[in-house]
Chains A and B, each alone.
Chain A
Amino acid sequence: MKLYCDTGRLVELRDFLQGILSDTTMSEVEQHQVILAVEEVAANLIIHSHDCNPKEFIEINVSRDKKLLKIEIIDSGEKFNILEYQEPDITEVIKSKRKGGLGIILVKRIMDKIEFESFQNKNICRLYKILKSK
């Protein structure tokens, strides 16, 4: 799907993912968490790499087989390598009263594997979740 860089449209991403995930072996809690992880990456790009410019968009592709769910988040904004990002300590987040920094921690704790690739002005973040057999 194409997601335009307006945080007010994140709900479209949640609806899109819910439609796909509800057809998997994942529990409601797991579906919720994967949706959250993808939204965290998308929101981060929308806000920090695209300055919430509603004319720009990012692309989200989902594919799956019986064992693995793969979500690709593709954009051409300023490169943000999630794997290189040093997430803050939770106590530091509280002390500094900063309202950000928690999203990437969530992504790393929820997903089973994360990949990042950047080439020809294109950034691809791949999030993987192992699907349990029924």
Chain B
Amino acid sequence: MLTIEKTHESPNWILKLTGEIDASNSVNVDSAIQELLKSGAENLLVDCTDLEYISSAGLGVFMSYLEEFQEKNIGMVIFGLKDKVFQVFHILGLDQLIRIKPDKSAALAS
């Protein structure tokens, strides 16, 4: 079960992911990011405070945007990862490629 909430806190868009991301629903995360990009989002904060699980399907969604974000100068910060979820990013070295912050205030300050 995954719920996705989008909130605009100018100049940032917050994408809050609650629940579990797997191969059945990662496409929904992709669509949500696409929608934010279409609405002109330039700063994206991904709130993972209540994210319990992410499989490679979900990680792949974030990875697939890294180059585009860099080219278009779009900022993305992931924050609030639980340790068990952070470790999955760490195993793949994604913590070196994606900006990850402990909480929202650190994400806003980055």
> Which residues of chain A have a CB within 8 Å of any CB of chain B?
6-8, 10-11, 14, 28-29, 32-33, 36, 39-40, 43, 46-47, 90, 93-95, 97-103, 105-106, 109-110
Contacts and interface: CB of A to CB of B under 8 A. Distances in A.
Interface of B: 1, 20, 22-24, 26, 30, 53, 55-57, 59-61, 63-64, 66-68, 83-85, 87-88, 91-94, 97
A46 B60 CA distance: 18
Contacts, number: 86
A10 B22 contact: yes
A99 B61 contact: yes
A33 B88 contact: yes
A57 B38 CA distance: 39
A90 B61 CA distance: 13
A40 B24 CA distance: 12
Instruction: Tell me the dominant secondary structure on chain A's binding face.
Output: helix
A110 B55 CA distance: 13
Contacts of B66: 94
Closest 10 CB pairs of A and B: A99-B60, A103-B56, A7-B24, A102-B56, A32-B84, A7-B23, A43-B23, A8-B24, A97-B64, A29-B84
A28 B84 contact: yes
Nearest to B70: A94
Contacts of A102: 56, 59-60, 63, 92
A106 B56 contact: yes
A79 B30 CA distance: 30
